[in-house]
Structure 1
Amino acid sequence: MTQSIDIDKISDVLVDVAATYILPRYNALTSGQIDTKSGPNDLVTIADTEAEEALVRILPDLYPGSIVIGEESISSGKATLAPLKDAGRMVWVVDPVDGTYNFVHGKREFAVMLACVMDGEIRAGWIYDILGERTMTMEKGAGAYFEGRRLNLTNRNDAINATGHIGKKYFPKEMRAHLEDQRDKVKQFYSLSCAAHEYINLATGKADFGVYSRIKPWDHLAGVLAVTEAGGVIAKWDSSVYHPSDDFGGLIVASHDALLHQIDAIFIKPILEDIILKYGK
């Protein structure tokens, strides 16, 4: 299936949806508008659900025959990832408020993430930093852009000089001590608790690498396309081919191939066999 995508038009849609359903709720949520999902820090708000519902209505109207799946519809059991395996379907994957915990607690690191998948490939993506009023767009084969500038990763830092994103609290308990033990092998690593803002850093060169233990499509599709279109690289922990429908396993993101292999050797390879034995690939 081949269908052209109006990148700018979709960017405008995200700005409008955020202005209507998300921004008015920032620092204005009541307790009844916040709920939990898998745990006390896994939050969902009325802003998440209303923004996703709006995109479920709008995008198929713009692109008849397409389907929208989102974090909240998946989490609630109303949708599955199965459409991502349908090569003949145009599928939009949305995280209406990536960084919901930050959003609820008045922090700045939250954003809208959207990706378009066709024929088993990530064709386009958007990351809209709502408070910063900045949109990163990316299209397969056409580059990644941020604030009107085409992105080109030129940093060639090795691990000891590299800054990255690792959120230890999201990793299996068995890995956390190992990650901390290896901290001095890189310049620094930290977490923003928001994949969208971490991918902005990764695609612009502000960060050199990222290591992720959760690869839900809504958190990674747009960012993976941004980094690879900017010249960076990605790899799954087990070296299997990354597919848009993947929702289990781990991912390494880096500005260049040599760094990716260094990060893998430092943080993942030494304990990968034990992790696979316990959790599977």
Structure 2
Amino acid sequence: MTEQLNYFKWKQQAEAWMREAADYIRWQMHEQLDIKTKEHKNDLVTHVDEGVENFFINKISETYPSHRVMGEEGSFKKIDDLSGVVWILDPIDGTMNFVHQKSFFAISLGIYVDGEPAAGLVYDVMADELYSAVAGFGAFLNGKRLPKLGRVKLDESILSINPGWASKDETVRNLIETVRGARSYGVASLEIAYVASGRLDSYISLNLAPWDVAGGIILLQETGGLATNLKGETLTLLKKDSLIAANPSIHDGLVNRAFGTT
């Protein structure tokens, strides 16, 4: 019980910090952005991403000195295991959307204890939608409990997938033709949260980092959804991996039909 009370305390504290960070993001949106690239020209980072990560690092180190942070903008380099309490952070998931559209981006945070999920939060900053969950106690959207996912047929489902991947892969194109509709939002954490809430039925991606998925997969687990890599294996959260996040009634069908694995 003491452990679970800690989980709720961490989640509540994280929510307050997320809202504070969101105020900073909204303010900075109207200033000149310092935009840089990382691995390639479409992999963007701004001083706002870095500022939000530093904000969380400072708050967590001051409040919980024994906890560690795995963040996208550099703090991940200090993490090579998930022992103890690790906060896995994407300060702005969807930086390209943030830069170009000023919408459809999120702060994503998963809190893990010895590699097991404790709490997860995904905050759509501009829509003011906060998804949150404590392991074993359900998932919520702005404080309202999300129901468990109902059954859905693959040919009546909505899939989110990168259109660039679809343009190069016949198997993916065939899958898109099988489902009722396909979408792409460019924000992994939100897309996983949408599966958890039933707005989407599945989300598939080839190459995601731990901070892209850590907050969302806890939400998904709490509404009965499944998150694995394309082979159907458990995600490690220590390296980049593929992802199928899906309603449980179609998860295995997606793995088998799209990728020929079991």
Structures share a fold, TM > 0.5? yes
Computed over aligned residues only, the root mean square deviation of the Cα atoms, in angstroms, reads 2.2
| Range moving further from structure 2, 127-136 or 151-160 | 151-160
Instruction: Provide the rounded CA distance (Å) in 1 between the counterparts of 2:256 and 2:181.
Output: 16
State the partner residue of 1:18.
Answer: 22
Q: Residues 28 and 219 from structure 1, CA distance in 2 versus in 1: closer, same or farther, beyond 3 angstroms?
A: same
Instruction: Provide the rounded CA distance (Å) in 1 between the counterparts of 2:206 and 2:231.
Output: 12
State the partner residue of 1:255.
Answer: 247
Question: Which of 192, 203, 227 is the matching residue for 1:199?
Answer: 192
Q: Give the superposition deviation at 1:107.
A: 4.0
Gap regions ≥5 residues in structure 2: none
State TM-score, norm by structure 2: 0.91
- Does the aligned pair in 2 maintain the 1:168–1:176 contact within 8 Å? no
Instruction: Provide the rounded CA distance (Å) in 2 between the counterparts of 1:155 and 1:105.
Output: 36
Q: Secondary structure at the match of 2:70?
A: strand
State the partner residue of 2:39.
Answer: 38
Q: Secondary structure at the match of 2:118?
A: strand
Instruction: Provide the rounded CA distance (Å) in 2 between the counterparts of 1:17 and 1:83.
Output: 27
Alignment of 1:216-227 (within 5 A): 216-227=209-220
The superposition leaves residues 93-142 of structure 1 with CA deviations (integer Å, 9 ceiling, x where unpaired) of 11000000000002421010011111111211111111112211111111
State the partner residue of 2:227.
Answer: 234
Aligned identity (percent) is 26
Instruction: Provide the rounded CA distance (Å) in 2 between the counterparts of 1:267 and 1:249.
Output: 17
- Does the aligned pair in 2 maintain the 1:122–1:140 contact within 8 Å? yes
Question: Which of 171, 177, 190 is the matching residue for 1:184?
Answer: 177
| Range moving further from structure 2, 56-65 or 232-241 | 232-241
- Does the aligned pair in 1 maintain the 2:90–2:212 contact within 8 Å? yes
- Does the aligned pair in 2 maintain the 1:93–1:218 contact within 8 Å? yes
- Does the aligned pair in 2 maintain the 1:122–1:244 contact within 8 Å? no
- Does the aligned pair in 2 maintain the 1:93–1:115 contact within 8 Å? yes
State the partner residue of 1:279.
Answer: none
Q: Residues 248 and 197 from structure 1, CA distance in 2 versus in 1: closer, same or farther, beyond 3 angstroms?
A: closer
State the partner residue of 1:82.
Answer: 80
Q: Residues 194 and 211 from structure 1, CA distance in 2 versus in 1: closer, same or farther, beyond 3 angstroms?
A: same
Q: Residues 155 and 93 from structure 1, CA distance in 2 versus in 1: closer, same or farther, beyond 3 angstroms?
A: same
Instruction: Provide the rounded CA distance (Å) in 2 between the counterparts of 1:248 and 1:112.
Output: 19
Instruction: Provide the rounded CA distance (Å) in 2 between the counterparts of 1:61 and 1:155.
Output: 42
The superposition leaves residues 150-192 of structure 1 with CA deviations (integer Å, 9 ceiling, x where unpaired) of 11233311110000111143x498x633211332111111210
- Does the aligned pair in 2 maintain the 1:155–1:208 contact within 8 Å? no
- Return the letter of the residue paired with 2:80: A
- Does the aligned pair in 2 maintain the 1:29–1:104 contact within 8 Å? no
